[in-house]
């Protein structure tokens, strides 16, 4: 059955056009079944109301003008599957963009492929399509195919019922719809199901995919459930699945590195054994939903975009999601990036992802996913582009994609079925994969109602679900996310401790104040950046404190450059010499870590931060004029620039042990994560970069000192009574061998300490 939408031309003519200067149209939209709204640059003349005509004839019920907006109400509904145009006097025709009218349709039906009783059912929401056909393939790459006509219901859902068993086969959709302004319907392209649970993809920038129909067999979780870790107790390790085992120093055999299963092998220097020994209680995976791994060819005039920026033609980090229900198949055993080859042929990525989660849980480690719902891949045959660009994306007045994300096409999360997809994706990863939480990339591009629903729906499944925002995306609003009950990355503590950039934006550990920072802000960060103290958060659990993430320089490189000991524009030939910390670098790294782990709120560190990892651009077969230089944006390098070199962890084992010790202390003593229940008292100081404070919680008493002055040593009187020195600028002392604190505590430049009152 066809929907109630067909294409018509609306011609609005004005015989006495006396407002020519007002006719520059900013937007012309169909906002309801019988409503058009037109926004002008200037207020239109009232005479327009008397001279309107619609052809072919559609009776106009009412015309209203409010400021710059003209509203036209009709007696006949508009249709969706062709185009409408507006003409005002002698100006050119203006396309009427289908906008709010698209929100009128919604379906509770299960999308994608589902087994419903004796039926196998396929559904796709494409409200403006004229026809949709399911294309069934016998194998992942062959031409053998059968096509099936799908039928549309009144809510814009196309569906096909069959009793045939197609398990192990592959399918996709061909669609046709309106043509013209900005449309992307293309019946020559077969797109995979946006609800695919497993896809087979070809190694090319179009990322052509087919959906694999998986058997109904269940995975044996053996009693595994979600980790129940309070937000305040989180110590998160942000990591890339492949980076953690791909380097030769991981100790894994050739051909068995870089996969989900590689991560959890116990016979290695890296992966799970390394993470477990470090002591963190959560990992945050860089995007592992199926993404477009390959970008357009470098400097190729025949490509749809002229690529001058990425000679590697790769997207290593994964922030170009293609399928929101399917795990990335490149990380399954046997995965390859050889051009023209395929990944995900047998769907093993599904089982292996689950095995990874199950193993991490058994070792007391929660699993968070970095998810990208604010945009999709820019270059690939992403299904949403070809199902309905106008429904699923935010568009400019010329019908091109908005790119507030900076990635080419921003997803319109306000659309009811787009919101439904996001919510169902979140619930799917929780229920099907036992994922414990999510970090939302550029979360400010996700509308507030969808954010509310995400938290609500996730907490219905697991009350301890971890929800974290990157509070950017056309603005910056950690306060707003805190009001919603979300945590977010605390960029302010990052900038306050290390600085915003290593050139002219240095922070506390360099004896500098960056931006709006001052002594009070440094104290506020320690206490959890609470709003009542001038911070962003209503609860310290919302303040995810961090100093390094996948973006920008590593903390180690930031310090190397900030101290003037490394020039990021010069080529480095001895990476071991570069990574080995000088005494000044070691002190600054330790001080930064001490500040971070003694601040209230959950903590996040990035892979390799614990040994001051340096990203030196590796020399490969791909010509890169910057090889040997420090990299601050390594998103495109699937090579040793990004792989974790565990030999470097050995070179800087002193810092690594310091991190391990601080993690142990934070886990051992609730006072450092008790939030507002902890009592803090800051001592007065003539030096704004000397922070000394008392901390007590339920009978445990501490004194913490942080000396960010790189030139001044201080001598601090120990409080009365018996006190142990837990930490100083040299080491974190073992719990089994407490070190009695001297009467005078010497605090050298760029160091700190923790005292604990002995029982």
Q: Give the C-alpha separation, 714 to 708, whole Å.
A: 11
CATH code, domain carrying 430: 3.20.20.80
CATH code, domain carrying 62: 2.60.40.1130
Domain for residue 531, yes or no? no
For 61, 67, 71, 696, the CA distances from 49, given in Å and listed in that order, are: 11, 14, 10, 72
Domain for residue 682, yes or no? no
For every residue of 229-294, DSSP letters joined together read --GGG-EEEEE-TTHHHHSGGG-PPTTS-SSHHHHT-SSSSSHHHHHHHHT-SEEEES--EEE--B
- The proportion of the chain whose per-residue pLDDT surpasses 70, expressed as a percent, equals 96
pTM for this entry:
0.95
Residue 8 confidence (pLDDT) above 50: no
For 124, 394, 402, 755, the CA distances from 419, given in Å and listed in that order, are: 15, 13, 18, 50
Q: Give the C-alpha separation, 364 to 70, whole Å.
A: 60
Domain for residue 570, yes or no? yes
Q: Nearest to residue 556, comparing CAs of 471, 440, 645, 618?
A: 645
Contact 260, 328 (CB under 8 A): no
Any idea which of 31-45, 172-186, 320-334, 590-604 has the lowest mean pLDDT?
Answer: 31-45
Domain for residue 186, yes or no? no
pLDDT at 50: 66
* Range(s) of the domain holding residue 58: 20-104
Q: What is the mean pLDDT of the chain?
A: 94
Contact 624, 258 (CB under 8 A): no
Domain shared by 327 and 474, yes or no: yes
Domain for residue 724, yes or no? no
Six token digits for residue 109: 């039906």
Last residue of some domain: 104, 123, 148?
104
pLDDT at 55: 56
Q: What does the pLDDT look like over 62-108, one tens digit per residue?
A: 989 999 999 999 999 998 998 988 877 766 788 999 999 999 999 99
Q: What does the pLDDT look like over 160-174, one tens digit per residue?
A: 999 999 999 999 999
Last residue of some domain: 78, 104, 130?
104
* Mean pLDDT of all residues in 697-701: 96
Split into its structural domains, the chain has a count of: 2
Domain shared by 486 and 342, yes or no: yes
Last residue of some domain: 631, 658, 685?
658
Q: What does the pLDDT look like over 589-630, one tens digit per residue?
A: 999 999 999 999 999 999 999 999 999 999 999 999 999 999
* Mean pLDDT of all residues in 443-459: 98
pLDDT at 23: 54
Domain for residue 205, yes or no? no
Domain for residue 485, yes or no? yes
| pLDDT class of 11 with cuts at 50, 70, 90 | very low
3-state SS, residue 350: helix
Q: Nearest to residue 221, comparing CAs of 129, 330, 328, 359?
A: 359
Q: Give the C-alpha separation, 335 to 139, whole Å.
A: 18
Q: Give the C-alpha separation, 271 to 555, whole Å.
A: 21
Domain for residue 522, yes or no? no
């Amino acid at each position: 059955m066809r929907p109630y939408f067909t294409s018509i031309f609306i011609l609005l003519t004005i015989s006495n056009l006396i407002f020519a200067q007002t006719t520059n149209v900013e937007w012309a939209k169909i906002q309801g079944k019988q409503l058009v709204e037109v926004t002008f640059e200037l207020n239109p003349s009232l005479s327009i109301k008397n001279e309107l005509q619609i052809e072919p004839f559609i009776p106009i019920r009412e015309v209203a003008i409010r400021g710059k907006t003209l509203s036209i109400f009709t007696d006949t509904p508009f249709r969706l599957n062709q185009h409408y145009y507006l003409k005002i006097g002698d100006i050119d025709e203006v396309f009427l963009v289908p906008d709010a009218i698209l929100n009128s349709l919604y379906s509770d039906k299960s999308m994608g492929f589902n087994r419903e009783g004796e039926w196998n059912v396929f559904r796709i929401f494409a409200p403006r399509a004229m026809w949709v056909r399911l294309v069934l393939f016998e194998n992942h790459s062959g031409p053998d195919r059968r096509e099936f006509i799908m039928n549309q219901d009144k809510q814009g859902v196309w569906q096909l019922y069959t009793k045939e068993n197609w398990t192990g086969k592959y399918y996709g959709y061909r669609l046709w719809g309106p043509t013209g302004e900005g449309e992307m319907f293309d019946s020559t392209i077969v797109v995979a199901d946006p609800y695919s649970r497993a896809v087979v993809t070809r190694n090319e920038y179009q990322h052509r995919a087919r959906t694999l129909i998986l058997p109904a067999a269940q995975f044996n979780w053996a009693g595994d459930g979600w980790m129940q870790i309070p937000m305040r107790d989180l110590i998160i390790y942000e990591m890339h699945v492949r980076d953690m085992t791909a380097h030769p120093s991981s100790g894994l055999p050739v051909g068995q590195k870089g996969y989900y299963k590689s991560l959890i092998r116990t016979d290695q220097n890296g992966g799970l054994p390394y993470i477990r020994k470090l002591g963190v209680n959560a990992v945050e995976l860089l995007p592992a939903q199926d993404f477009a791994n390959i970008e357009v060819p470098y400097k190729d005039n025949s490509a749809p975009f002229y690529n001058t920026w990425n000679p590697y033609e790769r997207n290593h980090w994964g922030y170009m999601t293609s399928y929101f229900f399917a795990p990335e198949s490149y990380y399954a055993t046997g995965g390859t990036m050889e051009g023209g080859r395929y990944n995900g042929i047998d769907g093993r990525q599904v089982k292996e992802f689950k095995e990874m989660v199950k193993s991490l849980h058994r070792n007391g480690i929660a699993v968070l996913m970095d998810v990208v719902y604010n945009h999709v891949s820019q270059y690939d045959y992403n299904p949403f582009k070809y199902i309905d660009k106008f429904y699923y994306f935010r568009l400019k007045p010329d019908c091109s994609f908005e790119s507030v994300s900076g990635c080419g096409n921003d997803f319109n999360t306000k659309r009811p079925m787009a919101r439904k997809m996001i919510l169902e994706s979140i619930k799917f990863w929780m229920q099907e994969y036992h994922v414990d939480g999510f970090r939302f990339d550029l979360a400010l591009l996700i509308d507030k109602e969808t954010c509310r629903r995400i938290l609500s729906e996730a907490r219905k499944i697991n009350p301890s679900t971890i929800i974290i925002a990157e509070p950017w995306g056309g603005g910056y609003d950690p306060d707003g996310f805190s009001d919603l009950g979300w945590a977010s990355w605390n960029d302010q503590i990052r900038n306050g401790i290390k600085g915003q950039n290593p050139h002219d934006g240095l922070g506390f550990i360099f004896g500098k104040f960056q931006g709006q920072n001052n002594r009070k802000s440094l104290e506020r960060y320690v206490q959890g950046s609470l709003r009542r103290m001038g911070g962003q958060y209503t609860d310290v659990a919302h303040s995810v404190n961090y100093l390094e993430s996948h973006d920008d320089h590593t903390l180690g490189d930031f310090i190397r450059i900030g101290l003037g000991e490394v020039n990021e524009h010069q080529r480095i030939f001895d990476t071991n010499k570069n990574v080995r910390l000088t005494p000044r670098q070691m002190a600054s790294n330790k001080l930064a870590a001490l500040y971070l782990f003694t601040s209230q709120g959950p903590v996040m560190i990035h892979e390799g931060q614990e040994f001051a990892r340096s990203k030196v651009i590796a020399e490969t077969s791909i010509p890169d004029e910057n090889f040997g230089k420090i990299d601050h944006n390594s998103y495109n390098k699937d090579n040793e620039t990004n792989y974790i070199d565990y030999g470097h962890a050995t070179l800087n084992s002193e810092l690594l042990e310091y991190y391990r010790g601080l993690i142990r202390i934070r886990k051992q003593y609730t006072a450092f994560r008790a939030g507002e229940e902890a009592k803090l008292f800051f001592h007065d100081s003539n030096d704004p970069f000397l922070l000394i404070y008392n901390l007590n919680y339920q009978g445990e008493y501490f004194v913490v000192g942080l000396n960010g002055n790189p030139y001044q040593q201080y001598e601090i009187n120990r409080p009365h009574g018996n006190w142990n020195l837990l930490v100083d600028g040299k080491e974190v002392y073992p719990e089994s061998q407490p070190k009695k604190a001297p009467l005078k505590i010497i605090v050298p430049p760029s160091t700190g300490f923790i005292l604990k009152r002995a029982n």
